Amino acid sequence: MNTSGLNGVMQNATALGEKSRACLNTFKAWVQLDSSNLSPGQQLSVKYFIVAVILFFAQILFGMLAATQFIFPGFLYEILDFSVNRMIHINAMIVWMLYGFIGCVYWFLEDESGTDIVGLKLGNLAFWVLTGAVTVVVLVYLLVQIGPGKDSSLWLINEGREYIEAPRWADIGIVVVMLIFFYNVVATFSKGKWSGIAGVLTLDLVALAGLYVAGMFYMTNITHEQYWWWWVIHLWVEATWEVLVGVIMAWSLMKLLGVRRKIIQTWLYIEVALMFGSGILGLGHHYFWIGTPEYWLTIGGFFSALEPIPLVAMVVHAVYDSGAHAFKNGNHPALAWIIAQAFGNFFGAGVWGFMHTLPQINMFTHGTQWSASHGHLAFFGAYATINIAFFYLAIQHWRGDVWMGGNSQNAWRWKWALGLLNGGVVGMTIALLIAGYEQSFIERAVEGSTWGGYFAAQNHPSFQSAMNWRWFFGLITFAGLILLIWDLLTIGKGETRKAPIIPVEE
Site for ligand HEM in 81-100 (CB under 6 A): 86, 89-90, 93
Tell me which residues in 228-247 interact with Fe ion (CB under 5 A): 234, 238
Nearest-angstrom CA–CA distance, 276 and 240: 8
Amino acid making up residue 46 = V
- Sequence-distant (6+) residues with CB within 8 A of 343 are 381
Member of 52, 201, 372, 402 binding ligand HEM (CB under 6 A): 372
Nearest-angstrom CA–CA distance, 122 and 86: 33
CA angle 345, 241, 209 (to 5 degrees): 165
58 belongs to the binding site for ligand HEM (CB under 6 A): no
The H or E element that residue 306 is part of is helix 295-306
Contact call for residues 455 and 416 (beta carbons, < 8 A): no
Whole-Å CA distances, 118 to 13, 110, 251: 38, 10, 20
374 belongs to the binding site for Fe ion (CB under 5 A): no
CA angle 127, 244, 262 (to 5 degrees): 120
Shortest Å distance, C-beta 388 to ligand HEM = 10
The H or E element that residue 203 is part of is helix 196-214
Nearest to 276 by CA among 317, 305, 235, 316: 235
Nearer to another protein, 31 or 139 (CB): 139
Per-residue contact flags (x/-) with ligand HEM for residues 442 to 481, judged by CB under 6 A: --------------------------------x--xx---
Nearer to ligand HEM, 118 or 378 (CB): 378
Member of 342, 384, 388, 431 binding ligand HEM (CB under 6 A): 384
Crossing angle of helices 120-143 and 82-113, in 10° steps, is: 170
Shortest Å distance, C-beta 335 to ligand HEM = 21
307 belongs to the binding site for ligand HEM (CB under 6 A): yes
> Nearest residue by C-beta to ligand HEM?
353
Nearer to ligand HEM, 44 or 466 (CB): 466
Shortest Å distance, C-beta 303 to ligand HEM = 9
Compute φ and ψ for 34, nearest 5 degrees. Answer: -105, 105
| Binder of residue 379, out of another protein, ligand HEM, Fe ion, none (CB less than 5 to 8 A by kind) | ligand HEM
Contact call for residues 414 and 487 (beta carbons, < 8 A): yes
Per-residue contact flags (x/-) with ligand HEM for residues 147 to 166, judged by CB under 6 A: ---------------x----
Compute φ and ψ for 367, nearest 5 degrees. Answer: 65, 30
Contact call for residues 254 and 246 (beta carbons, < 8 A): no
Nearest-angstrom CA–CA distance, 440 and 363: 9
| Binder of residue 84, out of ligand HEM, Fe ion, another protein, none (CB less than 5 to 8 A by kind) | another protein
Nearer to another protein, 272 or 417 (CB): 272
| Binder of residue 193, out of another protein, ligand HEM, Fe ion, none (CB less than 5 to 8 A by kind) | none
Shortest Å distance, C-beta 41 to ligand HEM = 27
Shortest Å distance, C-beta 217 to another protein = 12
Nearer to another protein, 165 or 495 (CB): 165
Nearest-angstrom CA–CA distance, 120 and 177: 13
Nearer to Fe ion, 238 or 487 (CB): 238
| Binder of residue 265, out of another protein, Fe ion, ligand HEM, none (CB less than 5 to 8 A by kind) | another protein
Residue 308 buriedness (CB in 10 A; 0-12 / 13-18 / 19+)? middle
Nearest-angstrom CA–CA distance, 199 and 201: 5
Tell me which residues in 115-144 interact with ligand HEM (CB under 6 A): none
> Interface with ligand HEM by CB under 6 A: which residues?
60, 63-64, 66-67, 86, 89-90, 93, 162, 237-238, 285-286, 304, 307, 349, 353-354, 356-357, 362, 366-367, 371-372, 374-376, 378-380, 382, 384, 425, 474, 477-478
